Structure 1
Amino acid sequence: MIIIRPIQTSDYDALHRIAVESGHGFTSLPVNEELLTNRINHSVSSFDSQVTQPGNEGYLFVMEDTETGQVVGTSGIEAAVGLEDAFYHYHLGKVVHNSRELGIYNTVETLSLCNDYTGASEICTLFLSESHRKNNNGRFLSRFRFLFMAEHSERFSDTVIAEMRGVSDDDGRSPFWAWLEEHFFSMDFPTADYLTGIGKKVFIAELMPKYPIYVNLLSKDAQQVINKVHDKTVPALRLLEAEGFARRGYVDIFDAGPTVEATKGSIRTVNESRKYQVIFGDVDETTNYIICNTKVKDFRATQAHASVRETANQVVINHAVADALNIGEGDWVRIVAN
C-alpha cells in the first residue's frame, strides 16, 4: 500500500537519493548533507510543535511503499515564508511612455524585485520517483497537502503559493538567468540555484539589479521564457490550476517560472473535503478517495476505496486501510474523492 507520512531522521538516505534524482532547478532539496539533515530535523520539530498561528514551521512528508519499505516521493509545506530570510520574486508590471504631441504611446513590460509573498504558506518539494508515476500517485502526493491544511488550518496562512519550475535545459542552463549572469552575476544558474538552496541568499540583494528591468531589453531567449514552466512541470501546474491556483504576475528571480497562488479557503480540495467517523466493513464502492487521519505528528494519508454514509456522517473502510492510517473504529478521518 502507498502511504504518506511525516519524514523521520531515518529517512536521510532516501531524501539524499531523491535530491540527486530531482536534478537542476529543484532548489528546496540541495545535494548537501548538512542542509538535508537540517531540513529533516526542522520538519520533525515542526510536527512536534504546538501551533496557534503560522510561523517558521516547515512540514516535509514522504511517500512510502509499505510493501517494500521504500520511500518513493516527497512533498512539503512551508507555513510562512520569508520570516527569517528574505523571499524574493520579480513582479511583472507595465510602464507607459506617452507623448500626445508626437502621437506616440508605448507600453513596456517591467520586472521589479519584491518581497510581496512574505508570510504566505508555500507548497513545495514535490517529487515522485519514476517507478511510481502511476495509479494517481502524483495527484495524491500533491492534493493530500490540502487535506492536512484543511484539518490544521491554524498552522497555515490565508494565502497559499507554489513556485513552478521555469524553463531550463538538461544541463541546467536557464535562458533567463543567462542574461542576468552576463550583466550582473557572473555565475551560472546551477551555482546560483544551489547557493539559494543552502540558504546563502545574501548575494541576491547584493548583486540583483536595484531598479525595474525593462523586459524588451532582455535577450529574445530570456523574454520568451518569462512566466513559462518547464515541460516536466506542466502536469503539476494543471493540477494546481484545477484546485483554483492562478498566476498573479509573479515569477522566479532565477528562471522566471511562474508563481501561482490561491486563498486557503478557495482551494478545491479544502472545500470539498469532509470529516467522517470510521466504521469497519466490506467496501463495494469503486470511488477512489484520498483519506487522512486527523493527527499531526502521527499523520498518515493513503488512497483507497470507501463507502460514505452521508446521513450518518460515517465512512466504511477495511482493516488494511485503517492499519495504514494508524486509526481504529470510531476515529475520525478527512476524505476527498481523488
Structure 2
Amino acid sequence: MLIIRPITCADYPALMQCAEASGHGFTSLPINEDLLRGRIQHSQASFNARVTSPGQESYLLVAVDSDTNQVVGTTAIEATVGLDVPFYNYHLSTVTHASRQLGVHNIVKVLTLGNQYTGETELCSLFLLPEWRQGLNGRLLSKSRFLLMADHRHRFAEVAFAEMRGVSDEVGNSPFWQWLKEHFFSIDFTYADYLTGIGRKGFIADLMPKLPIYVNLLSKEAQAVIGQVHVNTRPALQLLQQEGFCCRGYVDIFDAGPSVECDVRNIETVRHSQRCRVEIGQHTSERCYLVSNCQLAGFRAVAAPLAVNAQGQVVMTEDVAAALNVDVGDEVRLVAQS
C-alpha cells in the first residue's frame, strides 16, 4: 500500500533520487542538495505554521511503500507564487493586422511576457518512480493534494495551476528554447532551467525580450511545440484535465509547455469528496476510494476498498486505519474512484 504523507528530513536521500530520476525540464526538482534540504525544512515549517490566508508556504509530500518504508515519489503544493520572486509566463494570443485599402487581413499569434499567476496556488513536483506507475498510484499521488486542499481551504488561493513540462529530448534540448537561445540568451536550456529551479531568475528580466514575440517568426520546430507536453508528462496532464483543469493560453517561457488552471472550488475531487466518520471492521465492498485523514502536519492518504454504510459512516479494515493513523469515530475525507 502507498501512503502519502508530509516529507521529513530523513527523506532527503529519496528526494534527491527523485530529482535525479526526473530528468531535464523538471524545474521544481533541481539536483542541488542545499536547495532540496531547504525545501524540506520550509515544508516542515509550513505544515506546522498557523495560517489565516495563503502566503509563502510550501507543502511537500512523499509517497511511501508501507511494506518497505521506501519513498517512491513526491509532489508539492506552493500556497502562492510570485510574491517574493517574479513568476514569469508567456500568454499566447491572437492579433489582427488588416488594411481595408489594400484588402489585406492577416491573423497572427503572439507571445506576451507576463506574471499572470502571481498570488495563485501552484501544483508542482509530481514525480513517481517508473516501476510504481501502475494501478491507482499516480492518481493517489496527484489527487491527494486536492484532499488536503479541500480540508484546509484557507491555506490556498482561489485558483490552482500547474506548469506542465514541455517538449525536450533525452539530453535536454528544447526546440522552443533553442530559438530563444540563438537570439537572446546564449545559454543551454538545462542551465537556464537549473537557474530557475534554484531561484536565480534575474537573468530572465535582464535578457528576455520585453515586447511580444510573433510566433510566425520562430523556427518551425519551435512553433510546433508551443503548448505541447513532454511524453512523460501526458498522464499527469490527463489526470488534471479529468479534474477540470484547462489551458487558457499560458505557456512556460523556456520550453513552451502549457499551464493548466482551475478554480479550487470546481476541482472534481474537491467538489465530490465527502467527510465520513470511521468504523473499523471487515467488509465485502470492492469499491476503491482515495481517502485522507483530514489532518495537516499528520496528513495521510491512501487508496483502498471501503464501504460507506447507510448512516454515512465509512467502514475500513484495521490496516487501512493504521495507515491513515485514525481510530473509530475520527473523520476522514474520501472520494470514490471509477
**TM-score, normalised by the number of residues in structure 2:** 0.99
* Residue identity in the other structure for 2:130: E
* Residue identity in the other structure for 1:333: V
Partner of 1:20: 20
CA offsets 1:240-259 (integer angstroms, 9 cap, x no match): 11110011000000000000
* Residue identity in the other structure for 1:328: D
Partner of 1:108: 108
* Residue identity in the other structure for 1:27: T
Aligned partners of 1:27 and 1:55: how far apart in 2?
21
CA offsets 1:258-311 (integer angstroms, 9 cap, x no match): 0000000111000110000001111210111111001100100111111102x4
Partner of 2:30: 30
CA offsets 1:54-93 (integer angstroms, 9 cap, x no match): 1000000000001111000001101011111100000011
- 1:291 maps onto 2:287 in alignment: no
Partner of 1:228: 228
Partner of 2:43: 43
Partner of 1:239: 239
- 1:185 maps onto 2:168 in alignment: no
SS in 2 for 1:18: helix
Partner of 1:211: 211
5+ residue gaps, structure 2, are: none
| 1:139-154 alignment runs, 5 A limit | 139-154=139-154
Q: CA deviation at 1:313?
A: 2.2
| 1:259-278 alignment runs, 5 A limit | 259-278=259-278
SS in 1 for 2:127: strand
SS in 2 for 1:229: coil
Work out the number of aligned pairs and report it: 337
Aligned partners of 2:210 and 2:105: how far apart in 1?
26
Aligned partners of 2:238 and 2:199: how far apart in 1?
29
Partner of 1:335: 334
Aligned partners of 1:130 and 1:97: how far apart in 2?
48
Aligned partners of 1:20 and 1:337: how far apart in 2?
34
- 1:254 maps onto 2:254 in alignment: yes
Q: CA deviation at 1:321?
A: 0.6
* Residue identity in the other structure for 1:318: T
Partner of 2:280: 280
Aligned partners of 1:116 and 1:138: how far apart in 2?
28
Q: CA deviation at 1:11?
A: 0.5
Partner of 1:314: 313
**TM-score, normalised by the number of residues in structure 1:** 0.99
Partner of 1:76: 76
* Residue identity in the other structure for 1:336: V
Aligned partners of 1:308 and 1:3: how far apart in 2?
21
SS in 1 for 2:42: helix
* Residue identity in the other structure for 1:28: S
Aligned partners of 2:315 and 2:212: how far apart in 1?
57
Q: Give RMSD over aligned pairs.
A: 0.7
Partner of 1:324: 323
Partner of 2:87: 87
SS in 1 for 2:194: helix
SS in 2 for 1:324: helix
SS in 1 for 2:298: coil
Aligned partners of 2:222 and 2:135: how far apart in 1?
37
Runs of 4+ in 1 over 6 A off after TM superposition: none
